Structure formats: C-alpha cells, structure tokens
Structure 1
Amino acid sequence: MKVKAMIKQNNVLREQMTPFNRSYYEDMLLGLRASKVDPVRTEELLLEAAALLLEGQAKGKNAKQIFGEHPEDYFKEIAGSAPARKVRSKLNYYLMIPWAALTGLFSVYAVAGLLLLWSTGDTEMFGQISIFTILVVGAGAIVLIEIIMKWLSSLSEDDAPKPKPFDIKGLGIYVGIAIIAVFLGIFLDNLFPVISLSPWVSLILAVAGGLGLKFIFFKS
C-alpha cells in the first residue's frame, strides 16, 4: 500500500477514536512522522497502533492503558534504531532548481514554437534564445526559490503570514534593484550571443530535462 493510501486509511481510523484517545494517538503520530523512520514503515506502524487502539477502545480501555503514560515512549526504541533518512545534498538541491527551471523554459519554447510554426509557418521569437536568458532563468530560479523558502519559514505556526507594518524604504530598495536589473539585463543581453533553437530541439531538451528530473533527482 502506498503512503498516501495509508495516510487516508489512518485518517478514517482516527475518526473512530474518542477525543482523548485521538489526542493521545496524534501525539504518537506526530512524533513518529518527525523521526528518521522510513515513511512507508512509519505509516505501517501507525496503522498497526491505530488498529490496536480501536480494539482496546472497544473493550473500554483508553490510550494510556494500552500504550503507556507517555505517547512518545511507544515508538521510542523503533525511532532510535532506524537508519537515517536520505537527505538531498546541497549540490543536488542547487542543481535541481535550475535544471527544473530550464526544463520549463524549453517546454514553453517547444509548445509556443510548434504552435506558431503550424499556424503561421514561422517560429518568430521562439526560434532563437539568448545565452543570457538561459543564465538568468537558471540563476533566477535559485534566487526565487530561496526567497520563497525564507518567506515560508517566516510564517507563524498557524500558517498565516505575520502582520508587518508597510515598509516604504524596503519597497524603494526593491524597486531600485528591479530597475537596475532591467537595465543591466538589456546591456548584458547584447553582449551574449543569441543561438537559433528549433522548436523540435526545444522539445527534445524539455523531454530530456523531464527524464533527468525523474531519474537523477527524484529517483527512489
């Protein structure tokens, strides 16, 4: 059974628990899911615990009588002995972002170029690309993702953005940087060569990029 299916089944079982038992069980759940135990094994253990709890509940027992005084103790030994989960390396992470961004870029060029080619007989702007554009998309994707991640990390516990007073100075700095970036981009774009790019080549690059994401960065 896949992890998503087990999570759905777990949610169904939790609905059958008494408020006290559910609260206790969810403490167990959060602790185990945050541990280094493999995700599949985690959900298997949680389903077993949920079934055991419901069985005891039917006999008039509560979670403490079944698992003990402290929810975190039940899976403590299993969590402590589990091998560490694989962590995506920094290099892998920073290679994946521009790879995905450029895959998206070539996908757009392929689709738009082929549509224009079939409808007008000319690929127009989608028949060529500047080296500068490729560099900006690749590097810009990393910057954008980092900004988004920092913003997400600044959210409050209830996932609502923390209210902040309007910062006119900060806005001015961002606008200034944006204007400089635009003019710098226009200047640098003229310094970098522009290469011809057939929509079919873009399509091949997009497909290759997608396969690379699947088999290099997201391989199991």
Structure 2
Amino acid sequence: MNTTEMIKRNNERRELLNKENLKVYEDAMIYIRLNARSEYATESILLELLEHLIEAQQHGKSAQDVFGDDLHAYCDALIADIPRQSKQSWLLDILRYTTLLFSTLFAVYTVVQLLSYFIPSLKTESISLLPFVVIIGLSGITILVVLYALKASIFGTKTWFILGIGVYLIAIGGYVYSTILFKGIWTVPINFWSCLAVTIVMFLLHQWFKRLSNKADLKLSRN
C-alpha cells in the first residue's frame, strides 16, 4: 500500500475501536504524525499499531494495556525508530504547501472577480504583490508554531493550543493589514480569467509536488 491507501485504511479501521481506545489512539496518532519523519514509515507504524490495538480490544484489553501507563514515552520510543524526512521531501513539501496556499488565495480572488460581474463594487483591477511576500514569511512561522503548539497540547497544557490559535489569527490579520498597507505598490492587473488561470496552475503544481514528495519519501523508507 502507498501512503494514501494506508491513511484511508487507518480511517476505516479506527471505526472498530471503542470510545476510550479511540481517544488514546488518536492522541498517539496526532502526536506521532506531527514529527518531521518519513510519512510512509509513519503511516506504516500507525497502521500496525492500530491493528495491534484492535486485536487487543477483541481480547478484552484496553489501550493502557497495550501502550502502558506512559503514552508520551511510548510514542517517543516509536518516533525514535522512524527515519527522518529527507531534505528533498522536506523541500518538496514546502513547495507543495506554498502552491496550495496561493491556489486557495487566488481561488478567493476568482470568486470575488466572478461576483463583481453582478456586484460592481467588488471589482478589483489590480493587486499588490507585496502581501504575497508577507504571507510566505508569515505562513512559515505560523505553521511551525501551530504544529509545535498542537504537539505540546496533546500530553501537556492546552495553553499551547490557545497560543497556536492566537498566532494563526495574528497571521491572518497581518495579511489583511498588508493588503491595505501596500495597496497600489508593485501592482499587477487582474481579472476573472487571470485569477482562474493562476488558481489552476498553482493547484496542478501542488499535486505535482505532492507526488514528487511521496516518491522521495517512499524511496527513503525502502533504503
């Protein structure tokens, strides 16, 4: 199975767990996935762990019987055995999420341009390129903080989760403010068709980078 197939099977098989075991397993799953490790190897271990827990549950055992009293330490031990994500895969993931971000942004612009045919006040003739430079920097910092906050909140205080949400909202506010601050600077003309074209191109690039990243990750796991 490839990575996508393993994730799909994991989603299906998790439905066999009872409420208590599901909560424990999903905490472990999220914590392990948030580490910079090979995605293929990570999903292989998570699926194997799930099957082991399902079998134990069928014999009347709980997640605590399988993982022990210290789930945090158990997960850290598993993570230590998973190979780190390769630099090639890491770089491709950055490109993958950057193009997805731009695809999403221009999808919004496309919708606005379409609506402007019916609501003339929404018409925008040009956009500044500087806010996109700002959002690249903000998104990188935001992703790192949010991922760390999510990871820390699983076995620790929920304060980290609140901090992550706060940073995310600040990043959105920073982008909106930059569109106002840099209005009229480094502008390029836009219309419905140009926005639609950029959206499609960015989405296709996202899919391409995703395939390349999966190939690089699979190659690492098989070495």
TM-score, normalised relative to structure 2? 0.52
2:188 match: secondary structure:
strand
Q: Provide the C-alpha distance between the structure 2 equivalents of 1:94 and 1:138, rounded to a whole number of angstroms.
A: 10
Match of residue 16 from structure 2: 12
The 1:39/1:110 distance shift into structure 2, 3 A limit, reads: same
Shift of 1:158: 4.6
Q: Provide the C-alpha distance between the structure 2 equivalents of 1:107 and 1:160, rounded to a whole number of angstroms.
A: 34
Q: Provide the C-alpha distance between the structure 2 equivalents of 1:83 and 1:144, rounded to a whole number of angstroms.
A: 25
The 1:51/1:156 distance shift into structure 2, 3 A limit, reads: closer
The 1:38/1:143 distance shift into structure 2, 3 A limit, reads: closer
Match of residue 115 from structure 1: 115
The 1:156/1:12 distance shift into structure 2, 3 A limit, reads: closer
Aligned-residue Cα RMSD (Å) equals 5.0
Note if contact 1:116-1:124 (Cα within 8 Å) is conserved in structure 2: yes
**Which one has a bigger Cα radius of gyration?**
1
Where in structure 1 are there 5+ consecutive unaligned residues?
68-78, 165-173
Q: Provide the C-alpha distance between the structure 2 equivalents of 1:110 and 1:189, rounded to a whole number of angstroms.
A: 19
1:104-132 deviation digits (Å, cap 9, x = unpaired): 22111111001112x1468622x311122
2:153 match: secondary structure:
coil
Of all paired residues, the percent bearing the same amino acid is: 14
Q: Provide the C-alpha distance between the structure 2 equivalents of 1:139 and 1:108, rounded to a whole number of angstroms.
A: 20
Q: What code does the residue aligned with 2:134 have?
A: V
Q: What code does the residue aligned with 2:129 have?
A: I
Q: Provide the C-alpha distance between the structure 1 equivalents of 2:105 and 2:121, rounded to a whole number of angstroms.
A: 19
The within-5 A match list for 1:41-52 is 41-42=44-45, 45-46=48-49, 49=52
Shift of 1:39: 4.8
Shift of 1:197: 0.9
Match of residue 132 from structure 2: 134
The within-5 A match list for 1:201-220 is 201-217=194-210, 220=214
Shift of 1:12: 2.1
The within-5 A match list for 1:79-118 is 84=83, 86-87=85-86, 89-117=89-117
Note if contact 2:42-2:82 (Cα within 8 Å) is conserved in structure 1: no
Where in structure 2 are there 5+ consecutive unaligned residues?
67-77, 163-169, 215-223
The within-5 A match list for 1:29-44 is 38-39=41-42, 41-42=44-45
Note if contact 2:6-2:44 (Cα within 8 Å) is conserved in structure 1: no
1:21-75 deviation digits (Å, cap 9, x = unpaired): x8xxx89xx69x95977355435544664576577x49xxx89xxx9xxxxxxxx
The alignment covers a number of residue pairs equal to: 177
Match of residue 168 from structure 1: none
The 1:151/1:196 distance shift into structure 2, 3 A limit, reads: same
Higher relative contact order (CA 8 A, sep 6+): 2
